[in-house]
Amino acid sequence: MVHYYKVNCVRDNLRLIREFVTVVLRNLSLSEIEVNQLVLAVDEVCSNLIIYSHNCDPNYFLEINIEDQSGKLLFEIIDKDADNFNMTEYKEPKIANIIKERRKGGVGLMLVNRIMDSVEVAVEDQRSIWRMTKKIVAS
Amino acid sequence: MDSINLFGYKLTSCLHVNLNMQIKTTTEDKFHIIEIYGDVDASSSIKLDQSVEDAVKEGFKDILVDCSNLNYISSAGLGVFMSHIEEFKEKEICFALFGLSPKVKNVFEILGLDKLLQILDTKQEAKEIKDKEVK
């Protein structure tokens, strides 16, 4: 079953996105920490797209699919208008440098990579699709 | 800011309100305490940053963050604390967080920030950090 949600690119919608992911994952046998991690990963990608790719312009939309593939969760965040982000060129910054430079940003994608088993960004039919997977253990 | 005396403590209270998050600041003796309620995300982290900056500007040397009612934190919230670590060292500010739920503490642990920031279970433990450092 695929759970689908569509929101426009408004900063305050991040809360609604988190609620959507939480409700979907609540039905699975995951711990509170696991649910929070997955919510966080989706939130990080969506906040980057909403704030940096679309400047919080409500005329742009994101679509989110969550699919339980028996033992694996697939998260897709679809953006029809974003520039393609080349995930293969991403290099994780060093925490020590971020602290030294007193930067407030730079760890969002680091969190996503550490939480998810796989993260890829594909361009299909002129849409940018963030595709992330996470193995889950049935309890 | 309003100031009242309660049970011998001078309490100075200030409230920052956001749709997802509220921040209340108080002082107890030498300790400046920032209480966070709700979610700190890319939308609300600016208010948290402002509260930390205000505390530093006001010259507090002991700043505690009460996370007992913090439901969620994203990288934007982590970034607020990370961006001030150097300043805390420079100005010899004792900074600590306490009362984190397991799921919130886990977010700090993913990046190893639990080793770079003082994270304690209770307010009392947070208040006693300096005493332990001196000993």
pLDDT one-digit tens code per residue, B86-113: 999 999 999 999 999 999 999 999 999 9
Contacts of A21 in chain B (CB under 8 A): none
Query: Token match 């759970």: residue?
Result: A3
Asked if pLDDT for residue A138 goes beyond 70, the answer is no
Strands B31-40, B21-28: pairing kind: antiparallel
- pLDDT for residue B10: 43
B103 vs A36, A50, A51: nearest CB: A36
Strand ranges across the sheet with A127-135: A2-8, A61-68, A72-79, A127-135, A118-124
CA-closest candidate to residue A42, choices A69, A1, A5:
A5
CB contact under 8 A, B82 and A14: no
Residue-wise pLDDT tens digits, B26-58? 999 999 999 999 999 999 999 999 999 999 999
Report the pLDDT value the prediction gives residue B5, as an integer from 0 to 100. 45
Chain A residues in contact with B82 by the CB 8 A cut-off are 95, 98-99, 103-104, 107
C-beta separation of A119 from A108 below 8 A? no
- Structure confidence by residue, pLDDT tens digits, A42-80: 999 999 999 999 999 999 999 999 999 989 999 999 999
**What is the per-residue pLDDT for B11?**
43
ipTM for the whole complex:
0.94
Residues of A with Cβ-Cβ distance to B19 under 8 angstroms? 12, 15
pLDDT in tens, A13-49: 999 999 999 999 998 989 999 999 999 999 999 999 9
Residues of B in contact with A115 (CB under 8 A): 110
* Banded pLDDT at A89 (limits 50, 70, 90): confident
The answer on pLDDT for B135 being more than 70 is no
CA B43 and chain centroid, separation:
18
* Phi-psi sector, A95: left (phi>0), alpha (psi -120 to 50), beta: alpha
Closest C-alpha to B80, from A104, A93, A101, A43: A104
CA atoms within 13 A on the CB side of A18: 24
State the pLDDT confidence band at B15, using cuts at 50, 70 and 90: low
Q: What's the pLDDT at B20? A: 82
Closest residue in B to A103 (Cα–Cα)? B83
Q: What pLDDT was estimated at residue B33?
A: 98
Instruction: Give the residue numbers in A contacting B (CB under 8 Å), as ranges.
Output: 11-12, 14-15, 18, 32-33, 35-37, 39-40, 43-44, 47, 50-51, 95, 98-100, 102-108, 110-111, 114-115
**Confidence band of A102 (pLDDT split at 50, 70, 90):** very high
Q: Which of B40, B71, B91, B103 to mutate to test the interface with A (most CBs of A within 10 A)?
A: B103
A50 CB contacts (<8 Å, ≥6 apart)?
A9, A10, A11, A13, A14, A56, A62, B42
Nearest-CB residue to A99 (from B80, B86, B102): B86
Helix axes of A13-26 and A32-47: crossing angle, nearest 10 degrees? 150
